[in-house]
Amino acid sequence: MRATLDDLNKQGFAFCPPIYSEAEISDIVKTIEINTKDKANFRRSNNLFAIRRFLLEVPEVYPMVFSPKLKSILAELLGENYFLVKSIYFDKPADSNWYVAYHQDLTISVNQKIETEGFGPWTIKPDNFEVQPPLSILEQIVTLRIHLDDTSAENGALYIIPESHNKCILRPELIDWSNTSEKVCPVEKGGVMLMKPLLLHSSKRTTNLQPRKVIHLEFANAELPNGLEWAER
C-alpha cells in the first residue's frame, strides 16, 4: 500500500485491485436501481444517469460501499483525519456518446453561500453550493472512483496527464501536446482508482456498447473557514 500512496502523490493517480465481489457489486447496483426508480430529481438522459449527493440520496447503499476492505484502504492510505465530503454516482450507458474534455476538479460542495476570502467563483446547485476554494484545500483532497463495471478506453476509462496535479491550476486549452503524454486508466470491475482532483483528466465516448458505472467519492482533511461547511460531511 506504500507504493500506492507514493504513486498517488507523485503521479496524481494510483490503483487498487478489485475489492468488491460480483455478489457485492450486484447488491450495490440493485439497491441503487430500487431506490431511484421513481425519483425524478436525478440527472437522466440517454447518455448519462447521475446522482449527486449520492450517499445522502441513497443511504441504503452506504454500508455496502464502505465495506471492511474499503475501510481498511482508507485507514491505511488516508489515516483517521480524512472524512467524506462529496459522493456522486455516474452511469454511462452502453450506447453513450457523452464526452468530457480535459479538466481539473476545481470545486467543492458546501451547505450555504458565505462570501469568504479566497473562495470563488460560486455556482448554485439544486441541493447545495459549489465553490472553488483556495489551492491549499484542493491539493489535499483525494478522490476514489469505485468501478462497478470493467472499464477500458472503449467505454469511458479516464485519460489522464500524469503529474499534472503538481502544476497548480491549468487551462486545458493551453496544453502543449507536443511536450505532453496522456495515459488511459483501465480499471477492473470492483477495482478502485485513486486520484488527485487537480490531475487533468478526460473521458471519451463509448464505442464497445458496454456500460460504465462508477461511484465517485471525495475525501478531505481540512476544516473550512468563516462558517462554511462541507455539504456531505
Separation between Cα atoms, residue 130 and residue 102, nearest integer Å:
20
> Domain for residue 163, yes or no?
yes
> Domain for residue 116, yes or no?
no
User: Does the N-terminal peptide bond of residue 121 adopt cis geometry, omega within 30 degrees of 0?
Assistant: yes
The dihedral over CA atoms of 141, 144, 145, 146, expressed in degrees to the nearest 10, equals -160
> Domain for residue 126, yes or no?
no
Percent of the chain, pLDDT > 90?
74
Q: What is the pLDDT of residues 32-57, one digit of tens each?
A: 999 887 665 565 655 568 899 999 99
pLDDT category of residue 67 using cuts at 50, 70 and 90: very high
Predicted confidence at residue 5, as pLDDT, reads 86
Separation between Cα atoms, residue 97 and residue 155, nearest integer Å:
10
Predicted confidence at residue 2, as pLDDT, reads 63
Q: What is the pLDDT of residues 96-145, one digit of tens each?
A: 777 899 999 999 999 999 999 999 999 987 778 999 999 999 999 999 99
Antiparallel, parallel or unpaired: β 158-160 and 201-203: antiparallel
> Domain for residue 198, yes or no?
yes
> Domain for residue 96, yes or no?
yes
Write the CB contacts of 206 (distance below 8 Å, at least 6 apart in sequence).
92, 93, 94, 95, 96, 97, 98, 154, 155, 156, 212
Q: Which is more confidently placed, 199 or 3?
A: 199
What domain range is 30 assigned to?
A: 2-104+139-220
pLDDT category of residue 147 using cuts at 50, 70 and 90: very high
> Domain for residue 115, yes or no?
no
Antiparallel, parallel or unpaired: β 142-147 and 192-195: antiparallel
Predicted confidence at residue 172, as pLDDT, reads 86
Of 87-91, 189-193, 203-207, where does the model show the most confidence?
Answer: 189-193
> Domain for residue 228, yes or no?
no
Predicted confidence at residue 44, as pLDDT, reads 64
Separation between Cα atoms, residue 65 and residue 54, nearest integer Å:
11
How many residues does this entry show for the chain? 233
Predicted confidence at residue 39, as pLDDT, reads 66
Separation between Cα atoms, residue 202 and residue 213, nearest integer Å:
16
pLDDT category of residue 181 using cuts at 50, 70 and 90: very high
Give the count of domains, the chain: 1
- Mean of the pLDDT values across residues 153-166? 95
Straight-line distance from the first to the last Cα atom of the chain, in angstroms, rounded to the nearest whole number: 26
Percent of the chain, pLDDT > 70?
94
Helix (H, G, I), strand (E, B) or coil at 38: coil
Predicted confidence at residue 48, as pLDDT, reads 62
Mean residue pLDDT of the chain comes to 92
Indicate if the pLDDT at residue 222 is higher than 70: yes
Q: What CATH number corresponds to the domain at position 175?
A: 2.60.120.620
Indicate if the pLDDT at residue 151 is higher than 80: yes
Q: Which three cell numbers stand for residue 37?
A: 426508480
Spatial strand order in the sheet of 49-52: 13-16, 192-195, 142-147, 212-220, 83-92, 49-52, 43-44
What single DSSP character describes residue 141?
Answer: -
pLDDT category of residue 178 using cuts at 50, 70 and 90: confident
Helix (H, G, I), strand (E, B) or coil at 190: coil
Q: Which three cell numbers stand for residue 195?
A: 486520484
> Domain for residue 120, yes or no?
no
Q: Which three cell numbers stand for residue 151?
A: 472499464
